[in-house]
A and B are shown apart, each in its own frame.
Chain A
Amino acid sequence: MSMAILSSLWHYRGFVLGSVQREFQSRYRNSLLGALWTIINPLAMIIVYTVIFSRLMQARLPGVDNDLGYGIYLCAGLLTWGLFAEILGRGQAVFLEHANLLKKLSFPRICLPLVVVLNALLNFAIIFGLFLGFLIVTGNFPGWVVLGMLPVLLVQVVFAVGLGIILGVLNVFFRDVGQMTGIVLQFWFWFTPIIYPPTILPEGIAELLRWNPMVPLIQAYQGIFVNAAWPQWQSLWPMAVISVLLCVFALSLFRKRAGEMVDEL
């Protein structure tokens, strides 16, 4: 059955890639600078985080002897969280957004979440590429350790895809899910040490972080870019298992409810 999904995806690869390209292009269509905006936007964001926070506000990371340390810490967490939030946010709405297409045309539905993921990854690649360039220019590039982020990224994407598809399917039947997702993401963001170091949390609350599955992932990125340290693999294992299970559950939920979903749209 999963082979069937793969082969239908392969058959519709043209549509999937075309959709990704189209969505990307449509954002800057009719603007004078065109594709330049894809660079200007993230660049502005990186500059705000690094220069403004690190230089102007003199925000320092305890135990890091670098002017830009806090800026890099911020970017490592924010950019990767951004990828996670984009997949979830777009994923929960994907079936509702394409209700017309789903009701009127017959094509492999699983293409739609795939387009969302590929698009999010494309955006992420651009912004993260700029970030890496910035690190090289400022002499803060951590070296080979960067490769350590690939498995972390993989786990994170699988986790986000699984969760995104589940939310997307549920949202068709219970529209509350869409509303809830935004709120939960807000709390989740502030409950993850992204713009603050975990050390500032009081003891009791720091304990609770253990139950937040995003914490080991984000900490792995921060470790790579701030301290040039390889991720602690054993802390990632539970998350990897959860992610795969979530994805399997998402696909089975999707398959079971796909027919009913079209009736409900």
Chain B
Amino acid sequence: MSRIIVSELGKAYRQYPTRWSRLAEWLLPGARPRHQLHWVLKDVSFQVSPGEALGIIGVNGAGKSTLLKMITGTTQPTAGSIRLEGKVAALLELGMGFHPEFTGRQNAIMAGQLLGMSVDELHDLMPAIEGFAEIGEYMDQPVRTYSSGMQMRLAFSVATCRRPDILIVDEALSVGDAYFQHKSFDRIREFRKAGTTLLIVSHDRQAIQSICDRALLLDRGRVALEGAPEEVMDFFSAMIAEREQSTIRQERLPNNRIRTISGTGEASIAEAALLNDQGKPIDVVETGTPVTLRITVDIHADIERLVLGFMIKDRMGQAIYGINTHRINRPLENLRAGEQVVYSYRFNADLGKGNYSVALSLSRLDSHLDKNYEWRDFALIFHVINTRKPDFVGCASLDAQLEIERPQLVQGAAADALSR
């Protein structure tokens, strides 16, 4: 079975006041410990069941890499324990141990041996490794002639030439060109389908949401939140924005979704509604019809600049469309406490059928990372139905127009007519 069980894991580094105190601690018999423990990870417990995919997110320094290093066994935990069942492969640092003077093939064998594979096994797998890396005749050239992308390709292909029971992936994957990134993600997906348990660390919302069943947020070495990827990612976005002062709160909506609201509160969303062309609030929209997104904002304190943004997300939390007043050059300036502002965005609901949600943000600049007055996920939820247009799939209604030509058939018909 391919299970990961991490219980009460902790990691502390020893800090000595001076270089000499370590020597003193080692040599003086019965001496008191002279070091202080600096905890970078504490009380981390979670389980990943066979075949499950868990995403780990957190800001830099939250302890993600330390956690992965302990799971892969390069670093010893100070407290707690890790149990891994099955064969583990880690994509932490690709291309470790490549020697520039040797050919790709020789390096592939070396890297494979470093992963504990035998030469025979590697010889059997070599055609597959070569095929996946797609670096052609470079395979027999010294690695120093490779581009960094080619090196990545080869390294990835060696590291994943066997399907592991547990695959541990660090952000390493964001290297290489778009084509190879897709290819490597496909391979990871294939592994998942075949039952590989996945543990992935990434900042990439798309990656986490599209591949993980569950996500875990690390903050200052502790588990801050564990749950569905979308909830955790929303909380994470809010948390990044919130390094200033305000609070984050999450509410459970009637449909069991979780709404995250955060912000410093100088401005807040009083009301958000989707209106049809008669100005009536609706939550079911016919595809392609004109709608208005009306947002009422209360100003609670004097602020010099206000940008309103909205983003429509699909059921999976993927962004479909988003825009803000900064990007269309219509920010408001010098607002007074007590004011109310009503925004109306008009657009055609050229969306495919399904559920959508609207996230709103009030901020000072383009990004909500600088000064975030309010960030609200699931401010609105609406359904798009399609009763008038042909039944297309996907979320973008592109209204493709069709023309058909069949020249041979015309000739054939003419010949038919002549022979009669």
A: which residues have CB within 8 A of B?
Answer: 11-12, 14-15, 18-19, 22, 25-26, 29-30, 100-107, 173-174, 258-260, 262-263
Residue from the list A12, A18, A102 in contact with B109, Cβ < 8 A: A18
Residue from the list A14, A25, A173, A260 in contact with B113, Cβ < 8 A: A14
Given A15-B116, A18-B119, A25-B102, 9 more A-B residue pairs with CB atoms under 8 Å apart are A15-B114, A18-B110, A22-B106, A26-B99, A26-B102, A30-B101, A103-B69, A103-B74, A260-B76
Q: Check A105–B113 contact: CB distance below 8 A.
A: no
A63 CA / B186 CA spacing, docked (Å): 79
Q: Give A133 Cβ to nearest chain B Cβ, in Å.
A: 30
Residue from the list B19, B110, B116, B119 in contact with A11, Cβ < 8 A: B116
A-B contact pairs, 24 of them (CB 8 A): A12-B116, A14-B113, A14-B118, A15-B110, A15-B114, A18-B109, A18-B113, A19-B110, A22-B99, A22-B110, A26-B101, A29-B102, A101-B97, A101-B114, A103-B69, A104-B96, A105-B74, A105-B96, A106-B74, A107-B116, A174-B19, A174-B23, A260-B76, A263-B14
- Encoded as 1 (CB less than 8 Å from any A CB) or 0, chain B from 215 to 236 comes to 0000000000000000000000
Q: Check B75–A263 contact: CB distance below 8 A.
A: yes
Most chain A CB within a 10 A radius of its CB, from B76, B102, B106, B114: B114
Q: Check A12–B74 contact: CB distance below 8 A.
A: no
User: Given A22-B102, A29-B101, A262-B74, A104–B92 Cβ distance below 8 Å?
Assistant: yes
Q: In the complex, which residues of chain B have a beta carbon less than 8 angstroms from the beta carbon of A26?
A: 99, 101-102
B: which residues have CB within 8 A of A?
Answer: 13-14, 19, 22-23, 69, 72-76, 90, 92-93, 96-97, 99, 101-102, 106, 109-110, 113-114, 116-119
Q: In the complex, which residues of chain A have a beta carbon less than 8 angstroms from the beta carbon of B96?
A: 100-101, 104-105
Q: Give B282 Cβ to nearest chain A Cβ, in Å.
A: 55
A145 CA / B226 CA spacing, docked (Å): 73
Q: In the complex, which residues of chain B have a beta carbon less than 8 angstroms from the beta carbon of A106?
A: 72-74, 90
Q: Check A15–B74 contact: CB distance below 8 A.
A: no
User: Given A15-B114, A260-B14, A262-B75, A105–B97 Cβ distance below 8 Å?
Assistant: yes
Residue from the list B75, B110, B114 in contact with A259, Cβ < 8 A: B75
Q: Give B40 Cβ to nearest chain A Cβ, in Å.
A: 10
A174 CA / B20 CA spacing, docked (Å): 9
Q: In the complex, which residues of chain B have a beta carbon less than 8 angstroms from the beta carbon of A103?
A: 69, 74-75
Q: Give A181 Cβ to nearest chain B Cβ, in Å.
A: 17
A18 CA / B118 CA spacing, docked (Å): 11
User: Given A22-B99, A104-B92, A105-B96, A262–B113 Cβ distance below 8 Å?
Assistant: no
Q: In the complex, which residues of chain B have a beta carbon less than 8 angstroms from the beta carbon of A262?
A: 74-76
Beta-carbon nearest neighbor of A27 in chain B: B101
Q: In the complex, which residues of chain B have a beta carbon less than 8 angstroms from the beta carbon of A260?
A: 14, 76
Most chain B CB within a 10 A radius of its CB, from A18, A26, A105, A174: A105
Q: In the complex, which residues of chain A have a beta carbon less than 8 angstroms from the beta carbon of B72?
A: 106
A105 CA / B92 CA spacing, docked (Å): 8
User: Given A106-B72, A173-B22, A263–B13 Cβ distance below 8 Å?
Assistant: yes
Q: Give A111 Cβ to nearest chain B Cβ, in Å.
A: 9
A33 CA / B93 CA spacing, docked (Å): 36
Q: Give B84 Cβ to nearest chain A Cβ, in Å.
A: 11
Q: Give B363 Cβ to nearest chain A Cβ, in Å.
A: 39
Q: In the complex, which residues of chain B have a beta carbon less than 8 angstroms from the beta carbon of A100?
A: 96
Q: In the complex, which residues of chain A have a beta carbon less than 8 angstroms from the beta carbon of B101?
A: 26, 29-30
List 3 tightest A-B contacts by C-beta distance, closest first.
A259-B76, A106-B73, A15-B113
A29 CA / B100 CA spacing, docked (Å): 11
Q: Give A118 Cβ to nearest chain B Cβ, in Å.
A: 15
Q: Give B267 Cβ to nearest chain A Cβ, in Å.
A: 47
User: Given A12-B116, A18-B109, A104–B74 Cβ distance below 8 Å?
Assistant: yes
Beta-carbon nearest neighbor of A261 in chain B: B76
A174 CA / B19 CA spacing, docked (Å): 8
Most chain B CB within a 10 A radius of its CB, from A19, A25, A102, A106: A106
Q: Give B70 Cβ to nearest chain A Cβ, in Å.
A: 10
A141 CA / B14 CA spacing, docked (Å): 58
Q: In the complex, which residues of chain B have a beta carbon less than 8 angstroms from the beta carbon of A258?
A: 76
Q: Check A104–B93 contact: CB distance below 8 A.
A: yes
Q: In the complex, which residues of chain B have a beta carbon less than 8 angstroms from the beta carbon of A29?
A: 101-102
Q: In the complex, which residues of chain A have a beta carbon less than 8 angstroms from the beta carbon of B117?
A: 14
A176 CA / B276 CA spacing, docked (Å): 77
A25 CA / B102 CA spacing, docked (Å): 9
Q: In the complex, which residues of chain A have a beta carbon less than 8 angstroms from the beta carbon of B116?
A: 11-12, 15, 107
Q: Check A105–B114 contact: CB distance below 8 A.
A: yes
A221 CA / B23 CA spacing, docked (Å): 38
Q: Give A13 Cβ to nearest chain B Cβ, in Å.
A: 9
Q: In the complex, which residues of chain B have a beta carbon less than 8 angstroms from the beta carbon of A12?
A: 113, 116
A1 CA / B92 CA spacing, docked (Å): 29
A12 CA / B117 CA spacing, docked (Å): 8
A174 CA / B97 CA spacing, docked (Å): 25
Beta-carbon nearest neighbor of A258 in chain B: B76
Q: In the complex, which residues of chain B have a beta carbon less than 8 angstroms from the beta carbon of A259?
A: 75-76
A96 CA / B145 CA spacing, docked (Å): 27
Q: Check A102–B113 contact: CB distance below 8 A.
A: no
